[in-house]
Structure 1
Amino acid sequence: MRIVFMGTPDFAVPSLQALIENGMQVVGVVTQPDRPVGRKRILTPTPVKIEAEKHGIPVLQPERLRRPESVEELKELQPDLIVTAAYGQILPKSVLELPKHGCINIHASLLPKYRGGAPIHHAVMNGDAVTGVTIMYMAEGLDTGDMISRVELPIEDTDTTGTLFDKLSIAGARLLTETLPDLIAGRIQAVPQNDDEAVYSPNISREQELIDWTKPALTIWNQVRGLNPRPGAYTLWNGDVLKIWGCRKPETTGEAGVPGTVVGLSEAGVEVATGSGTLTIIELQPAGKKAMDAAQFIRGGQIAAGTVLG
């Protein structure tokens, strides 16, 4: 079977590796164009491109996949199956109809929950106890295709979006390896999604990054870990952005003072009143500086009890 793989970030790399290691015939890889990265704006290839080139696999990087010339390039690869994982562009009907075995997608959620571009962020921010990976046939809608297989993973208190990103990428690669033999043999019985149960997870907005201290401590704790390592939750301190990278899981509820007020400073961290309970910040990053533990921030005399954040 001639397989074309489509993916872009680190999340997709284990799935590409799984195809290669299992002897699949990957005849081409489609990924996003190289982009400028960092302060020096160095043109940088995607992680999937780097992996493909290690194995001598041809790479296509169309700016817009739906353009006729891009579809024609893809058609020349004569794919029997297209496998996608966090590619970053919606596949047009002209591409979906190319392979005789269809197009399948490795999606980092338990569909139909969290369709869209930021399923891991939303699962953590919403305080979910379980997440997972779904492999589905691709359709013209956003993550609406029939489900082929899935695997569940618990979300631990120690997890952030970053740690789950890594866990789910490996789980997705393993699930792909287990699913492909049945797909190739024609033994798949895909299950339609229940659209009435659909939940969407659009990309994170700047407004979602700002901490609202009037919310419960548990809600803010989930927000902080859900936005770690990218893009990061923040509050305002002395008129500047103060990134909050880590907090202790809150144990208290109820009234704790004016929300956003620093009510305690100790080696444990910076304790802040919220709408319900207090939240102890353990890692933060003032504007223009590197991330540091809160105890170091306190020892520097940069914050005092009674300070109001936000």
Structure 2
Amino acid sequence: MKVVFMGTPDFAVPTLKEIINAGHEVAAVVTQPDRPGGRGKKIKMAPVKLAAGELGLQVFQPDKVRDPGFVQELRRLNPELIVVAAFGRILPGEILNLPRYGCINVHASLLPAYRGAAPIHRAVINGERETGVTIMLMDAGLDTGDMLLQEKITIGPEDTVGVVHDRLAVLGGRLLVKAMELIQTGRAKPVPQDDSKSSYAAMLKREDEIICWAEDAVVIKNRVRGLNPWPGARTELEGKVLKIWRVSLAGDAPVQGKPGQVLEASAGRGILVRAGNAVLSLDELQLQGRKSMRAADFLRGNPLTPGIFLGSPSGGD
């Protein structure tokens, strides 16, 4: 099948490679323009662009997908199918209706749950025990099209968003190729979504990163897992940003003090902090301008006095 592939981040790369490995023709790859990133704000190429270069594929990076010149290029390519995986742009009707078999999307959730930009992060932050991938026909709505295939995975209690992301990326590629086979052989059976069961996974904002120590300890742990390895849950230590990468419940520690208060900081017991209803052990953390490290290593260079607060004394952040 002749395909145009649209994708941008790491999540999309396994799908692109699976399409190639399955013997389909990728006429072109469309990804977002190069943008500055990192501390030096150097121009960075998207992972999909890098992968396309390695595979020797033609790449388009339109500033606007509605640009008449770009749409005309797609018409010239005359793809039978457009495959979208985390492209990051909403496609206009003239593109959705262009290919013979339409456009299909690899979405990292069990639709209709978690429609939107950040389904993996939100699922882990919300403490979901399962998620998955849905292959859907695209329409004018936001992740509202009919579903072709869906498969679940389990989210473990210690799984970070990075772990879940990588598993879903691999699953997405495999499921997408299976859906293409169903389409090509006329065996695809689209299933409408039940809009009454829909939920929205909003794009992450800066405030999503802030730990509220007054919250339930499990809620805080899920937030930490759901922001690791990007962008990281954070609090403050004496006016500096302190990123928290891994925590665990200190079930044997007496619940005392106020939310956000450091109860203990020692090589033997680690860093124990009062949460809303329990005590958390900060197992891996990173002070502003420093590297991430385990609690014992952190304390060697940054001794903490029990009784001090992370965030604010009120526990509000």
TM range (shorter): over 0.9
Paired AA for residue 170 in structure 2: I
Q: Deviations over 1:23-51 (max 9, x none)?
A: 10111110011112323332222111111
Report runs of 4+ in structure 1 exceeding 6 Å deviation: none
1:212-223 to structure 2, matched below 5 A, reads: 212-223=212-223
User: Partner residue of 1:89?
Assistant: 89
- Taking a change above 3 Å as real, the CA distance of residues 109 and 251 of structure 1, as seen in their structure-2 partners, is farther
User: Partner residue of 1:111?
Assistant: 111
User: Partner residue of 2:278?
Assistant: 277
- Taking a change above 3 Å as real, the CA distance of residues 145 and 304 of structure 1, as seen in their structure-2 partners, is same
1:204-243 to structure 2, matched below 5 A, reads: 204-243=204-243
Is residue 213–residue 220 contact of structure 1 (8 Å, CA) maintained in 2? yes
Q: Shift of the alpha carbon at 1:254? A: 9.3
Query: C-alpha distance in 1, partners of 2:247/2:44?
Result: 33
1:1-310 to structure 2, matched below 5 A, reads: 1-249=1-249, 251=251, 255-267=255-267, 268-310=269-311
What do you get for the CA RMSD once the two structures are aligned? 1.5
Q: Shift of the alpha carbon at 1:147? A: 0.6
Paired AA for residue 20 in structure 2: I
Is residue 233–residue 245 contact of structure 1 (8 Å, CA) maintained in 2? yes
Query: C-alpha distance in 2, partners of 1:21/1:41?
Result: 35
Query: C-alpha distance in 2, partners of 1:271/1:40?
Result: 35
- Taking a change above 3 Å as real, the CA distance of residues 249 and 86 of structure 1, as seen in their structure-2 partners, is farther
> SS state of the match for residue 241, structure 1?
strand
Q: Shift of the alpha carbon at 1:158? A: 2.5
TM-score (norm 1): 0.96
Q: Shift of the alpha carbon at 1:261? A: 0.5
Q: Deviations over 1:169-208 (max 9, x none)?
A: 0011111122221111111111111111110001111111
TM-score (norm 2): 0.94
Q: How many residues align?
A: 310
Q: Deviations over 1:56-83 (max 9, x none)?
A: 2111100111222221122211011000
Paired AA for residue 287 in structure 2: P
Query: C-alpha distance in 2, partners of 1:37/1:262?
Result: 35
Paired AA for residue 224 in structure 1: V
Is residue 255–residue 275 contact of structure 1 (8 Å, CA) maintained in 2? no
Q: Percent identity, aligned pairs only? A: 49
Query: C-alpha distance in 2, partners of 1:95/1:281?
Result: 49
Is residue 249–residue 279 contact of structure 2 (8 Å, CA) maintained in 1? no
> SS state of the match for residue 5, structure 1?
strand
Paired AA for residue 273 in structure 2: V
Query: C-alpha distance in 1, partners of 2:125/2:168?
Result: 16
Query: C-alpha distance in 2, partners of 1:214/1:50?
Result: 43
Is residue 250–residue 272 contact of structure 2 (8 Å, CA) maintained in 1? no
- Taking a change above 3 Å as real, the CA distance of residues 111 and 130 of structure 1, as seen in their structure-2 partners, is same
Question: Unpaired segments of 5 or more residues in structure 2?
Answer: 312-317
Paired AA for residue 91 in structure 1: L
Query: C-alpha distance in 2, partners of 1:136/1:252?
Result: 47
Paired AA for residue 282 in structure 1: D
Q: Deviations over 1:117-137 (max 9, x none)?
A: 100000000000001000000
Q: Shift of the alpha carbon at 1:250? A: 5.3
Query: C-alpha distance in 2, partners of 1:299/1:289?
Result: 13
Is residue 3–residue 79 contact of structure 2 (8 Å, CA) maintained in 1? yes
